[in-house]
């Protein structure tokens, strides 16, 4: 097929029947050949295509000798058959004529069944009428059937097995598209007196020939336009069905930050598709199509913009999007969940190019054998695999599954050919947060000052106040919306400043109300953690200290800067962590006559680290040695070794506790000064700390909680 067809080579006029002949010549020829040989044929086609396909086949076979006799059983009266009883419904009338036809003369007769889906339930079961019809279908072997199956409805196997030959007429073959556009319509789609079928196919790949003629004939606009996008936009809007929409999300304009994610999505998917569109060689285009993954997994924490990236990809491709919630697909009725999936794919194919986004894919596609639910999830996974395996190479339908738990997905989904492209969308880093906030600043007219923007970026490096999670894109959007509401409510004039950002983040936060004595204990505890960390050479620098109770489950915390080395962890680093964990407890012991239970989580974590040093990392000293020790029923150890392990763990903990006590005792004044400043300021960032504390070295960016 030429990639550009001169206008004069296109048909001047084209009827719907001629369009069907032009669109499906090979398929029609195979149907006619099968019927000529007496072989029943099942045609998968949309309802509006059925009568046109029937007429094309009938006209071809009527020219033969002897001519074939056709009975089109659609429920309307037939002149050469006895009339049905008055008041019969549509299905009852079809069954009546079918019985008469099967038991009458059968030679050279083709019975056409255009409404086989009326004999089935929505989930492929048999209706009461179907139970009467099935014996009739098998009663007379002399009769040749031509049945039509709507792609939106499954047929029971007992009916499908009647048809040894099957043809699928879904959409229009790309190489036949040039025969379906008239010269007048081509003038609306091109500015250079030629039709580019591959460009047109991107907008109508899932549309059947009859519907395409209707869409093309309704095109409006000037001839030979300098900008053809409005004409193609008309076609795309007309192809949308169900909940499919055309998104308008620009990958770079509307999504801030995430440079690496954007680069990978561009290089792996968008750039490859752009190369296909720019190619002028049909063979090259087909090779490129074979390289494009049709199934993709976008995974990462909640609120990081996985669905937004899918919409941006759809915008770049000019594709329609339908967002499907996994839990909404599931039904308590047998077979209905699978039918819901079939319908989703059927609608997407009709509106191709399209992207189906399965939100919360893990809600039904967990690894088989691990889910304890009703079992419908396994059937849904099988149906999803069936639909994806049925993609044609030139079919522009993509499936994106979003999940927070990629490790829980069924392995069959993740193999090449299915969901083979995996895109990680993590929590936004500092640069990402800056770009996200800047985009919302422009969209919402916040007028953030440079200092306020810097503060917002730094402040959102912590965990979300009152929650044990980091700031995501959704949290940043909520922050900016809160700022916009405050600006509107307070009638603010001029740029927003740091205080405005802090109010939006914390003014409505529910924090514990501490007595002065309780607050002093918490401040002493956190000062102890911080000062102990200063004298542990393998820890990263302190980034922030708070005693406001703005971390879920903790009255105060010390957080550290990102570590210089994230992947190589040494013994010295782990020992320093244990020492710092004991800092809060030992500070309380130095300054008060009593101890609080605020150290419980610290001691638990310190014990876990010490036990890992002894049992997993072979760093327990001479008693245990450089070996891994498993205390379990499959690898039992002696009682003597158990005692030795416990002694080694206790020795590590006591050594670091004493070390922490010594550091704090030698720097008692520094602990007291830091405590007093904390009581006054409540929160100290690294700039404020720089005026109070000496410089330190660093590791593992983990908040020490109490």
Beta strands at 704-705 and 557-560: parallel, antiparallel or unpaired? antiparallel
How far CA 648 is from CA of 1, 135, 259, 639, 683, in Å, comes to: 77, 81, 47, 14, 38
Of these residues, 167, 395, 465, 526, which one is catalytic? Answer: 526
Please confirm whether the linkage preceding 353 is cis (ω < 30° from 0). yes
Please give the Cα distance from 421 to 371 (Å, whole number): 24
The token duo for 575 is 């020992």
Please give the Cα distance from 590 to 667 (Å, whole number): 11
CA quadruple 634, 635, 638, 644: dihedral, nearest 10? -130
Please give the Cα distance from 178 to 1 (Å, whole number): 9
Instruction: Check if 526 is active-site.
Output: yes
Looking at 114-173, list the stretches that DSSP marks H as alpha helix, in order from N- to C-terminal side: 128-139, 157-160
Half-sphere exposure of 531 (CA within 13 A, CB side): 30
Looking at 295-398, list the stretches that DSSP marks H as alpha helix, in order from N- to C-terminal side: 306-317, 326-329, 336-350, 376-389
Torsion sign, CA atoms 327, 333, 334, 338: negative
Please give the Cα distance from 90 to 598 (Å, whole number): 76
Please give the Cα distance from 213 to 562 (Å, whole number): 61
How far CA 45 is from CA of 27, 28, 240, 440, in Å, comes to: 12, 12, 18, 47
- Three-state secondary-structure class, residue 5: strand
- Three-state secondary-structure class, residue 286: helix
Cα–Cα nearest to 614, from 256, 606, 305, 212: 606
How far CA 412 is from CA of 335, 368, 390, 419, 530, in Å, comes to: 21, 9, 15, 9, 49
DSSP state letters, 231-256: HHHHHHHHH--TT-B-----TTTTS-
- Which residues are tagged catalytic? 526
């Amino acid at each position: 097929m030429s990639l550009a067809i001169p206008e004069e080579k296109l048909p001047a006029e084209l009827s719907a029947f001629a369009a069907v002949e032009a669109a499906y010549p090979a398929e029609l020829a195979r149907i006619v050949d099968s019927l000529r040989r007496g072989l029943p044929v099942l045609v998968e086609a949309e309802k509006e295509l059925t009568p046109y396909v029937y007429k094309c086949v009938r006209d071809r076979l009527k020219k033969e000798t002897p001519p074939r006799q056709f009975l089109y059983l659609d429920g309307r009266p037939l002149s050469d058959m006895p009339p049905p009883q008055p008041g019969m419904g549509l299905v009852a009338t079809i069954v009546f004529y079918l019985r008469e036809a099967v038991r009458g003369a059968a030679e050279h007769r083709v019975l056409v069944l255009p409404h086989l889906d009326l004999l089935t339930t929505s989930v492929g079961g048999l209706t009461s009428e179907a139970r009467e019809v099935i014996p009739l279908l098998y009663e007379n072997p002399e009769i040749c059937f031509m049945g039509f199956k709507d792609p939106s409805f499954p047929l029971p196997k007992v009916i499908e097995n009647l048809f040894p030959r099957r043809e699928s007429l879904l959409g229009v073959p790309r190489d036949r598209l040039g025969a379906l556009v008239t010269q007048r319509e081509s003038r609306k789609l091109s500015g250079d007196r030629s039709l580019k079928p591959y460009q047109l196919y991107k907008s109508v790949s899932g549309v059947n020939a009859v519907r395409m003629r209707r869409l093309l004939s309704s095109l409006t606009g000037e001839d030979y336009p300098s900008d053809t996008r409005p004409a193609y936009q008309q076609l795309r809007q007309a192809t949308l069905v169900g909940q499919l929409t055309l998104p308008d999300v620009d990958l770079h304009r509307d999504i801030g930050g995430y440079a690496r994610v954007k680069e990978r999505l561009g290089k792996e998917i968008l750039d490859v598709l752009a190369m296909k569109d720019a190619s002028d060689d049909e063979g090259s285009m087909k090779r490129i199509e074979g390289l494009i993954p049709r199934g993709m997994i976008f995974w990462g924490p909640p609120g990081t913009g996985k669905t937004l990236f899918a919409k941006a990809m759809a915008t770049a491709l000019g594709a329609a999007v339908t967002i499907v919630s996994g839990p909404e697909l599931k039904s308590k009725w047998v077979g209905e969940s699978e039918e819901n999936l079939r319908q989703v794919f059927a609608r997407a194919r009709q509106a191709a190019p399209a992207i189906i986004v399965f939100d919360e894919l893990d809600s039904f596609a967990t690894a088989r054998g691990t889910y304890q639910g009703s079992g419908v999830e396994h059937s849904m996974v099988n149906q999803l695999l069936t639909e994806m395996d049925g993609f044609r190479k030139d079919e522009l339908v993509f499936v994106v599954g979003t999940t927070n738990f990629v490790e829980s997905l069924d392995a069959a989904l993740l193999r090449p050919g299915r969901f083979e492209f995996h895109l990680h969308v993590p929590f936004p880093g500092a640069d990402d947060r800056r770009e996200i906030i800047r985009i919302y600043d422009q969209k919402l007219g916040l007028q953030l000052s440079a200092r306020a923007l810097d503060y917002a970026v730094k402040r959102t490096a912590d965990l979300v106040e009152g929650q044990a999670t980091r700031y995501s894109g959704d949290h940043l959007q909520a922050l900016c919306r809160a700022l916009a509401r405050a600006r509107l409510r307070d009638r603010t004039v001029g740029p927003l400043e740091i205080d405005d950002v802090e109010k939006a983040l914390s003014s409505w936060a529910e924090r514990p109300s501490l007595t002065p004595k309780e607050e002093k204990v918490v401040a002493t505890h956190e000062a102890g953690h911080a000062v102990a960390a200063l004298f542990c050479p393998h820890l990263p620098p302190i980034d922030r200290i708070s005693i406001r109770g703005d971390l879920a489950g903790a009255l105060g915390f010390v957080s550290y800067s990102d570590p210089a080395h994230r992947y190589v962890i040494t013994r010295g680093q782990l020992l320093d962590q244990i020492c710092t964990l004991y800092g809060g407890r030992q500070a309380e012991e130095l300054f008060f006559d009593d101890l609080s239970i605020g150290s419980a989580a610290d001691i638990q974590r310190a014990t876990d680290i010490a036990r890992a040093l002894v049992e997993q990392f072979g760093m327990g000293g001479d008693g245990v040695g450089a070996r891994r020790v498993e205390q379990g029923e499959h690898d039992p150890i002696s009682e003597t070794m158990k005692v030795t392990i416990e002694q080694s763990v206790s020795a590590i903990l006591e050594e670091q506790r004493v070390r922490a006590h010594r550091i704090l005792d030698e720097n008692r004044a520094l602990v007291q000064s830091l405590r007093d400043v904390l009581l006054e300021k409540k929160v100290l960032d690294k700039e404020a700390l720089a005026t109070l504390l000496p410089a330190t070295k660093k590791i593992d960016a983990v908040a020490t909680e109490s």
